[in-house]
Structure 1
């Protein structure tokens, strides 16, 4: 049972890292599920304080994931069309065959959202698209860093308690 939960926890950890880039998957909460799996293994004593603190952080980062891009967009004069354009551009960038598409497409999506749907002037649209893109980058970096920290905690707890498992 321990090995199954450890493997399942590792799968959640890796899915969480992928989710820090994919807008469909909530990266940090999925990584947190990996920590839960580790602590549900019968050999490891359950640490409520650790799980509650990491859970609160996961929820806070999940909420901030929606707030940060909106702040970036609003700070630079963008609209909801720019924010939606960034998300759609990210999805296109994930499947685009050219390098750096995951960085270029969100910016282009925000720009097109501002120009076409919000009918923003050229210079203002570029500024708004840049703000939306910066918000997206900040949010993605935050999620990626948090999922790496959770992965590090997962391996640390596993290493420290290795003798309990095997």
Structure 2
């Protein structure tokens, strides 16, 4: 049964990384699920208050990075609140509307369209904001990969 347990724990971690490509998936919850599954299958004993504190801090950091990376990318390029909303909507819908390329095209198009329609910016300005959205998303994704690897690495260090 150990193999089945570890496959389920590993699958929850894989789904957490899949959430980087499909942002509608609750990646942070899949990480936490992996920890909870370990506790259910084996023991919660390795989860000291220090361990829980570190993991909760890193989990909160994931949410902060997720929010502020997009905000920073759009604002840095002169985008409006409409562009932030457009980028977020594009990020959620893009991978489903345009498989594979939608993860990049979605935030770009969302910010671009929002700036053109609501922000009433020129095409050049809207393109600049769209690229800012993509750069913010990519920077945030790299940061989230690093944080998730640290979380899983620390978990494995504690339990193995």
TM-score (norm 1): 0.76
Query: Which structure is higher in RCO with an 8 Å CA cutoff and minimum separation 6?
Result: 1
In 2, the alpha carbon distance for the partners of 1:52 and 1:99 equals 36
CA-based RMSD: 2.8
Pair 1:103 & 2:97 matched: no
Moved more, 42-51 or 136-145: 42-51
Unaligned runs of 5+ in 2: none
Corresponding residue of 1:163: none
Moved more, 31-40 or 113-122: 31-40
Given that 1:73 and 1:83 are in contact with CA atoms closer than 8 Å, whether structure 2 keeps it comes out as yes
Unaligned runs of 5+ in 1: 161-166
In 2, the alpha carbon distance for the partners of 1:18 and 1:29 equals 12
Given that 1:84 and 1:110 are in contact with CA atoms closer than 8 Å, whether structure 2 keeps it comes out as yes
Corresponding residue of 1:12: 12
Moved more, 62-71 or 26-35: 26-35
Q: Deviations over 1:108-153 (max 9, x none)?
A: 2211111122211222212222212211111222223322333444
Corresponding residue of 1:137: 138
| 1:121–1:72 Cα change, 3 Å | same
In 2, the alpha carbon distance for the partners of 1:21 and 1:98 equals 10
Pair 1:22 & 2:6 matched: no
Corresponding residue of 1:126: 127
Corresponding residue of 1:38: 38
In 1, the alpha carbon distance for the partners of 2:56 and 2:7 equals 20
Moved more, 85-94 or 123-132: 85-94
SS of the equivalent of 1:25 reads: coil
In 1, the alpha carbon distance for the partners of 2:44 and 2:144 equals 30
TM-score (norm 2): 0.78
Q: Deviations over 1:45-100 (max 9, x none)?
A: 33331221021111122122112211221111101221222223233431245653
| 1:32–1:136 Cα change, 3 Å | same
In 1, the alpha carbon distance for the partners of 2:65 and 2:21 equals 15
